[in-house]
Structure 1
Amino acid sequence: MRKLILQSMVTLDGYFASPDGKLDWHVVDAELNDYACELLDAVDGLLFGGATYACLAAYWSTPAAAHDAPEVAERMNRLPKFVFSRTRQRVDWHAAQLCTGDAVAEVERLKREPGGALAMFGSSRLASSLIAAELIDEFRIIVNPVILGRGRPLFSDIRNRLSLRLCRIRPLRSGSVLLYYQPEH
């Protein structure tokens, strides 16, 4: 069965986005881009909720992304993308497929297909439903050295406790820390 990795950036106070949805606090540098390439080289597909898809497609499919981080942009644009949304009518980003049905059932199907790991970026509502269904195999959380004071929590819709085991800690020169966790179930 394919592995599903949730990758997200959060602030020290646990927010994945500012109250207005902005991500301008992300600490992005060459070391983070190298890590992004490592992760993207290790997966065969990407999962997104509708809002995350809109944000990432709006940047990574542009000439600015190809200029700023060409190695990351090439991988983001090449990999198959599965976009989970009940309101979106279409997806235009290269190799993107719209998934409008039951997200849990669709991810269960994707995980049973042959192939390598899948990665999901942010997508907090989708993540919450997949956590509840015990479909996430690894959590990679990058804690950025910033406190927002308020914002959108990464895991706001979780109903049951999920115990995690810390597998690895990777400090970054920027002051961010990458934490690798696996569920204990």
Structure 2
Amino acid sequence: MRKLILQMMLTVDGLYEGEGGDIGWHHVDEEFNVYAADFLRSVDGLVFGRITYEGMAAYWPTAYAMERDPVVAERMNKLPKYVATRTLTEAEWENTTLLRGNAAEEIARLKESPGKALALFGSSRLAVSLVQQGLIDEYRIFVNPLLLGRGSRFLQGLPVPRKLELLEAKAYRSGCVLLSYRPAG
């Protein structure tokens, strides 16, 4: 069975976006891009909620993204993408499949198919339902050295506590820290 790895950038105060959906504070530098390229080589599919998908689809296929980070952009554009959505009727970003049914059931089916791990980027609301169904196998949380104070809290609405087991903690020169966990037990 394939693993589903949730990757999210957070602030120290646990926010994944600032007011109005601002993510301009995400710290992305060469060291992060090396990590991202390696991570994208280890997966063969990307999972998104609609809102995250729309942001990614507006950025990665652009000439700016290809110029700024060609390795990550090429992989983001080529990998199969799966979007949990109730509202989208079509997707223009190459290699995108819309998951229009029950998101947890659709993603459980994807996990049962052969292949490497799947990466779930952002998509905090979708992640809540996947955590509840026990479908996330690993959490990779990049903590950015910043306190926003206001914005959207990661995994808001998770109804019960979940214990996690630390796999790795890695500090970057930027001050970001990557924390990797798996569900305990």
Pair in the same fold by TM > 0.5: yes
Aligned-partner Cα distance in 2 for 1:85–1:101: 8
Give matches, 1:114-133, under 5 Å.
114-133=114-133
Tell me the CA shift for residue 121 of structure 1: 0.4
Aligned-partner Cα distance in 2 for 1:166–1:45: 24
Match of 2:40 in 1: 40
Aligned-partner Cα distance in 2 for 1:139–1:54: 22
Match of 2:25 in 1: 25
TM-score under structure 1 normalisation? 0.99
Match of 2:110 in 1: 110
Match of 1:97 in 2: 97
Q: Is the 8 A contact 1:122 1:154 kept in 2?
A: no
Aligned-partner Cα distance in 1 for 2:153–2:101: 25
Percent of residue pairs bearing the same amino acid type: 50
Match of 2:174 in 1: 174
Secondary structure of 1:8's counterpart equals strand
Secondary structure of 1:20's counterpart equals helix
**Gapped runs of 5+ residues in structure 1?**
none
Secondary structure of 1:61's counterpart equals coil
Report Cα offsets for 1:82-131 as digits up to 9, x if no partner.
Answer: 01110112111010111111001001100000111000001011100000
Give matches, 1:44-83, under 5 Å.
44-83=44-83
Tell me the CA shift for residue 154 of structure 1: 1.1
Q: Counterpart of 2:70 in structure 1: which amino acid?
A: P
Match of 2:150 in 1: 150
Q: Is the 8 A contact 1:5 1:119 kept in 2?
A: yes
Match of 2:163 in 1: 163
Match of 1:8 in 2: 8
Q: Counterpart of 1:69 in structure 2: which amino acid?
A: D
Secondary structure of 1:32's counterpart equals helix
Aligned-partner Cα distance in 2 for 1:160–1:105: 20
Report Cα offsets for 1:138-177 as digits up to 9, x if no partner.
Answer: 0000000111001001110200111001110111110000
* Number of residue-to-residue matches in the alignment: 185
Tell me the CA shift for residue 22 of structure 1: 1.2
Aligned-partner Cα distance in 2 for 1:56–1:177: 23
Q: Counterpart of 2:6 in structure 1: which amino acid?
A: L
**Gapped runs of 5+ residues in structure 2?**
none
TM-score under structure 2 normalisation? 0.99
